[in-house]
Structure 1
Amino acid sequence: MADGSVLFSLAPYHILSYGTLLGTQVFHTFFNSIAAFRVLERPQFAVLQRAVFPSYFGIQAAVPVVLALTYPSNRSAGTAWGFGGVFHASNRWGVLLPLGLMTLTGVVNLIYFLPETNKITALRRAQEKKDGGQNSKEMAALNKQFGKLHGISSLFNLITLIATVLYGVNLSSRFE
């Protein structure tokens, strides 16, 4: 493929998409969020997260679909390119399951947990003003609700990251 036809192959786009997804997840989960939490005051941290999370969860939801669309064929296993290869019986556990989990957890974080968490954050800000610096029972209840939503969303993020790594391990086995 040294003649330039590699640009018309789906393989480089598959690898680049996978690398983008994994890199985004690792950087945001283990570096960006932790550093921002350490150096920003809570209100500024919340503003940053509200700005970043729609794109982040969007990437987690969309890139697995791109990976499925560009899934490389495996002639020795008799699998086709794209969805045909993803849904091939030999790929149920190493390809379909991780891609499905990535998509599901990304979509749920994007369309459910993100808006719900933002709603609770707004209620907490309003309650903070109302309480005048004192923690009320209402604030304690909102903090508990936020913690629950945030915890489940974080769990979904971790599941997405683990599924991404497992998919990468499966994909790398094809390079032997």
Structure 2
Amino acid sequence: MAHVLLTPAPYHVLSYGTLLGTEVFHTFINSILSFKVLERPQFAILQRAVFPAYFGIQSAAPVLLALTYPGRKNLLGVPSGLVGVFHPTNRWGVLVPLGTVLVTGLVNLVYLLPETNKVTALRREQELKDGKASHEKGVQSEEMTALNKKFGQLHGISSLANLITVIATVVYGINLSARIV
């Protein structure tokens, strides 16, 4: 049993479990409950603190999964590691899902998160000018209306990218589980 620790398999399974568990917990439990129980400013502070780590995991895990991809030991088998990930038989079940997770995680981490944070900062400045919170009912200033629209667009794209990431992670997990049966 100790010899298995010298193979990529346990690190692969643990990395996959961490990725999927993090995604499911954050997307379907943590974010929803936090939004329900925290005041909007506290919720925003929490999300700003959590998102870099969350998107970082989504960006790093597929690389670790690719590096530890466990191949087959028989003569006709798929090799381990990156060579196995790029093997033609793994295009749709391994390469595409892991590539999707990597790209969507990176897009969220390096573009959408910083852009959303910029718009959020501008909304806070505009709230001071307007004397009204960005989420308050009623007529908003033109500037706040434009900022709210931009925030909504960025948030929507980020949420869609996150959902695509979760789906791609599940697709990869199904492919991985097919190797167990």
Q: Same fold (TM over 0.5)?
A: yes
Q: Report Cα offsets for 1:123-144 as digits up to 9, x if no partner.
A: 0011011101272111011000
| Residue from 120, 144, 152 that aligns with 1:139 | 144
SS at match of 2:78: coil
Structure 1: gaps (5+ residues): none
Of 149-158 and 132-141, more deviation after overlay is shown by 132-141
| Alpha-carbon distance, 1:79 to partner | 1.0
* Matching residue of 2:136: none
TM-fit CA distance, 1:9 = 1.1
2:70 corresponds to: 72
Distance across 1 between alignment mates of 2:21 and 2:145: 36
Among the aligned pairs, what percent are the same residue?
69
- The alignment's C-alpha RMSD in Å is 0.9
TM-score by length of 1: 0.97
1:88 and 2:71 equivalent?
A: no
Residue 104 (structure 1) aligns with: 103
SS in structure 1 at match of 2:175: helix
SS for the counterpart of 1:175 is coil
Deviations 1:106-159 (A, max 9, x none): 000000000000000000011011101272111011000000000000000000
Normalised by the length of structure 2, the TM-score is 0.94
Counterpart residue type for residue 175 of structure 2: N
Deviation, structure 1 residue 75: 3.2
Name the CA distance, whole Å, in 2 between partners of 1:152 and 1:75.
42
Quote how far apart the aligned CAs of 1:17 are: 0.2
SS of equivalent residue, structure 2 residue 73: coil
Count of aligned positions: 174
Q: Which runs of 5+ in 2 are unaligned?
A: 133-138
Deviation at 1:63, TM superposition (A): 0.2
